Amino acid sequence: DIVMTQSPDSLAVSLGERATINCKSSQNILYNSNNRNYLSWYQQKPGQPPKLLIYWASTRESGVPDRFSGGGSGTDFTLTISSLQAEDVAIYYCQQYYSTPRTFGQGTKLEIK
Amino acid sequence: QVQLQQWGAGLLKPSANLSLTCAVYGGSFNGYYWSWIRQPPGKGLEWIGEINHSGSTNYNPSLKSRVTISVDTSKSQISLKVRSVTGADTAVYYCARLGTRFLKECSGTSCYNGNYRYGMDVWGQGTTVSVSS
C-alpha cells in the first residue's frame, strides 16, 4: 500500500495570511501514461462530505477559488492557500489514486489564529 | 449534474451485516469506478473499495475478507455489504465517483490522448452507521 503522510496535523493561520500543508507519499505517484501525479486534495467541513479542490497535484477543480494552489511531484506535494479566508476553516486531506487501495493522508485541521 | 443518493440501516448490533446502497442520478453510470469510503467519528477517511459498471472490483486488503461491493447497472446503483460488524465499523459511510478527465496534449516527444482518472469528484451525502449492543 502507498502510505500518505500529511504535515502538520493542525495549523493555525491569521486571516489574510498564507497556509501551507504538506503531503508525502511512500512511493512515486507520477503516472507515466499521461505525465500526471495522481494526487488530489480535498476540503471537508463539519457534517459534509469531502470536496475535491485540486487534482493531478496542481489543477484546480472548476469553481475552486484561485487562492488554492497545489504543487509538487513524485513523492512530495503541497497545498497552499495564499490568503486565508474565514470560510477556509476545515480539515484538508490528500489522496493518491495511482494504485489501490486509494489511500488518504490523515488530515490537517486548519484554524484561524 | 451527477448526484449520488445513499441509504441503508443506521443502527446495527455486533455480528450483524451492514448493507448500504448508492444510486447515481443525472449522469452516466458507465465508464467510471464507484467507491465506498468511511470515516469513523472524529477520524480520517478510509477507502473501502470500488466497482465499475462491468462489476470489476478492487478492495482495501484491510477489509477485503468481510466486504462485498456489487453493482446493478439497470438501476445505476452500487451496494456495500460488510459482514459481522463490530464497534470499529461505526462510521459515516460515503459513496463517491472516481472521475475521469479527457487529456490531449504533446510534451516533447510524448503525446497523451484519452480519459484519465483525476480524483473523487462526486460524493454522496453520507450515511451514519452505529454498531452497538
Residues A40, B124: C-beta atoms closer than 8 Å: no
Average pLDDT, chain B: 96
**Bridging pattern class, strands A19-25 and A36-37:** unpaired
Overall average pLDDT of the B15-26 stretch: 98
Cell of B75: 438501476
- Residue B127: predicted pLDDT: 98
- Residue B60: predicted pLDDT: 98
Q: How many residues does chain A have?
A: 113
Range 34-63 of B in CB contact (< 8 A) with A: 35, 44-47, 49-50, 58-62
d(CA A74, CA A96): 11
Interface test with B, best of A2, A32, A93, A102 (most B CBs within 10 A): A102
Does position A43 have pLDDT exceeding 90, yes or no?
yes
pLDDT band at B110 (very low <50, low <70, confident <90, very high): confident
pLDDT band at A8 (very low <50, low <70, confident <90, very high): very high
Q: Shortest Cα distance from B16 to chain A (angstroms)?
A: 25
Average pLDDT, chain A: 97
Rg (CA), chain B: 16
Task: Report, in this order, helix, strand and coil percent for chain B, each rounded to 5.
Answer: 0, 60, 35
pLDDT band at A91 (very low <50, low <70, confident <90, very high): very high
Residues of chain B with pLDDT > 70, as a percent, come to 100
Does position B109 have pLDDT exceeding 90, yes or no?
no
Does position B80 have pLDDT exceeding 90, yes or no?
yes
- Residue A38: predicted pLDDT: 97
| Residue A32: Cβ within 10 Å count | 9
d(CA A31, CA A36): 5
Overall average pLDDT of the B26-32 stretch: 94
Identity of the amino acid at A34: N
